[in-house]
Structure 1
Amino acid sequence: MGHRYKVREIAQQSGLSEATVDRVLNNRPGVRENTRAEVQQAIADLDKQRAQLRLNGRRYLIDVVMQTPQRFSDAFRGAVEAELPTFAPAMLRARFHLWESGATAATVEQLARLRGSHGVILKAADDLAVAEAIDGLVEAGTPVVTYTTDVPNSLRYGYVGIDNHGAGVTAAYLMHQWLSAGAASANIAVLITLSRNVFRGEGEREVGFRSALRGAGLDVIDVTDSDGIDATNERLVLDALRRHPEIEAVYSVGGGNAATVAAFEKLGRACRVFIAHDLDADNRRLLRDGRISAVLHNDLRADARLALRMILQARGALPAEPVRPVPVQIVTPYNIPG
């Protein structure tokens, strides 16, 4: 079977003789492993060069569609805009469709209104109507990549984000360690706050958290449907604190952390451990002030770069590469990245 590159091309790229390259390609004996590695590296380099030629002068319009609190959408928008120029010689532009709260129908309507899109980065509820809207886009030739929360029963090209179940387990591990290391943890409850239970990613975090705490002797009390908006979240948390005087710790899945801290302070209640997600402006300030204990964070620019790359892969403009869950970082007041 012929190779996608001529032996002469690979030999020129690797600096090896054509005879040596031919022996490697045909898996003949008597070739050292480092020579085989040189040939494979030359092929990888040729793949990159071919991709660059395909990208040269191409223009792509990417749509970012997200229902999420503004503090997160602002941070992700900045990450996308910072990454767009890195795809030169292709020219990428982005349109942003961002809102904080609303029914699933708003997402479906927004997806139906997209025109001229070369790909969509989507944060949306795992809902049948959303899946059908994704399928319609993909069948019409527009690839979709889901971000932070997945819609797996759709034709989406792939998912970008952390292992949400693993993040919940990590939060539970930290919670148990810190509470066990302090005063007696008997009869202590942990409050878990979610923005909306239709988001698959948040549900996976909650399931991981609850399952890892099982048997630890800690009750878990949840509040949800705040959309991560501060005013709504503060009202819900105040109500939960009044009904449950045993709450002494928080795992924030859905944001609104400044409001949660304010609710504890209004009632004169101490929060022994507070674990949150995403290193947005609010969480940076709360970490520095010692109001929250740790943030489970992932690099938004790396997320944006991967999502954009996957869209170009889906369009055949870049070679396909394996995608792995984004690693989660544990950020404390002492290792906040710049």
Structure 2
Amino acid sequence: MNNQINDAPLTLRDVAAAAGVSLATADRVINGRPGVSAKTALKVHEAVQRLGFRPLAAAAELARSRSWRFAVVLPGGGNRFMLDIADNIRAQADWFRARRIAVEIVETDVFDADTLAAELSMLPGRFDAVALVALDHPRIRAAIDDLVEGGMAVVTLVSDAPSSRRQHYVGIDNIAAGRTAGSLVGRFLGPPRIGEAGKVEPGGAVGIVTGSGSLRDHAERRFGFGQVLAEEYPHLIRLPPVEGRDDPDRNRDLVRRMLADSPDLVAIYNTGEGSVGIGEALAEAGLARKILCVGHELTPATRRMLLDGTFAALVAQDPGHEVRSMARVLHALVTGQEIVAAQEHIRVQVILRDNLP
């Protein structure tokens, strides 16, 4: 039965209101896109029947009037790579405007599960889609699932939460990135020395500085790095990872302690940001350019450290490509378009002083 009481044509907003769901959720159900629970979908279909709504007749009206709201949840603070991500989002303003998309950057502490989960809980009703730097934690996976259940499109950015219901991950293969870093360390240090008795001599200790044990990109990088060292360079002794939360001051203190505790230290691998602190600690000890350093991401600071030899190599990703990919994927998800996998593949790059862009 049609309960319309005036001559104005029904719209999808009327269906959403009748079903008690968001416009984005109603749109996903009508167009047969995934990410909506069976219970919620049933509410929408019942509202369609009750109102006598004809989706095809309303499609043109919807296309003319529809606008979208995207949120991008990034770490707060001075993480230079994440600032580059934010800058590239702003640089895409014309692309978003042409598609009637309003974008808001939300900064929070992504290292803290309670803080990040609370931030995510405030997004429904304000946004149609979200991209977030995800913490791989039960609370965050549950928060992501709640967003998808409510009809939002959810994409993880840079760091994934693959067991959640997020629809897409935008970022590099971080295990491959870690393996690349391991190969660089092993090859720069050279093959093991064979002692007089024909035994392999220990090659020294390798320190690992990481942002967080719960950020999946850091965890996968450590895993890939460890794989290569264990398989191909077993003479190198991996020290237990130390967590600096991508903070230069923390990283400086951690490396000071590492130097004091491990006089046989020959290399340091930094899985994230805060490389400046590592360089400062080495310079204080007179060990800059004497201890091999490999890190991630090309920033003004890491560029300088490549040029002066403090860091030998960087394993990097293109923040501009990631932002463009994130924008295309979110837009495809909310409009029901196809995601072109080859276009959204983010490459792992190796940057040396000799090939600085």
For this structure pair, what is the TM-score category when the shorter chain's length is used for normalisation? 0.7 to 0.9
Cα distance, 1:82–1:318 mapped onto 2, change above 3 Å: farther
- In the other structure, the counterpart of 1:236 is 254
* 1:19-34 correspondence runs (5 A): none
- In the other structure, the counterpart of 1:199 is 215
- In the other structure, the counterpart of 1:262 is 280
Say whether residues 1:330 and 2:350 are aligned partners: yes
Question: Mean Cα displacement is larger for which, 318-327 or 258-267?
Answer: 318-327
Q: 1:119 aligns with which of 103, 110, 129?
A: 129
SS in 2 for 1:251: strand
- Give the drift of 1:83: 2.4
| Alignment coverage as a number of residue pairs | 285
- Give the drift of 1:325: 4.3
- In the other structure, the counterpart of 1:9 is none
SS in 1 for 2:74: strand
TM-score normalized by the length of structure 2: 0.74
- Give the drift of 1:125: 1.1
Q: 1:61 aligns with which of 64, 69, 79?
A: 69
Compute the RMSD of aligned alpha carbons.
Answer: 2.4
- In the other structure, the counterpart of 2:224 is 208
TM-score normalized by the length of structure 1: 0.78
Q: 2:113 aligns with which of 104, 107, 117?
A: 104
SS in 1 for 2:71: strand
Deviations 1:64-123 (A, max 9, x none): 112365222211101111124235631333211224575210000001112421211111
The percent identity for this pair of structures is: 27
- In the other structure, the counterpart of 1:39 is none
- In the other structure, the counterpart of 1:33 is none
Q: 2:87 aligns with which of 55, 59, 78?
A: 78
Question: Mean Cα displacement is larger for which, 124-133 or 80-89?
Answer: 80-89
CA distance in 1, matches of 2:336, 2:62: 6
CA distance in 1, matches of 2:63, 2:259: 55
SS in 2 for 1:96: strand
Letter in structure 2 aligned against 1:188: G
CA distance in 2, matches of 1:277, 1:56: 44
Alpha carbons 2:110, 2:116 under 8 Å: kept: no
CA distance in 2, matches of 1:210, 1:119: 36
Cα distance, 1:236–1:272 mapped onto 2, change above 3 Å: closer
CA distance in 2, matches of 1:140, 1:76: 27
Deviations 1:258-299 (A, max 9, x none): 100111121222444211111122212222222211111111
- In the other structure, the counterpart of 2:206 is 190
Alpha carbons 1:73, 1:98 under 8 Å: kept: no
- In the other structure, the counterpart of 2:173 is 163
Unaligned runs of 5+ in 1: 1-52
- In the other structure, the counterpart of 2:323 is 304
- In the other structure, the counterpart of 1:320 is 339
Cα distance, 1:72–1:139 mapped onto 2, change above 3 Å: same
SS in 1 for 2:355: coil
CA distance in 1, matches of 2:164, 2:108: 23
Alpha carbons 2:109, 2:116 under 8 Å: kept: no
CA distance in 2, matches of 1:101, 1:111: 11
Cα distance, 1:246–1:55 mapped onto 2, change above 3 Å: farther
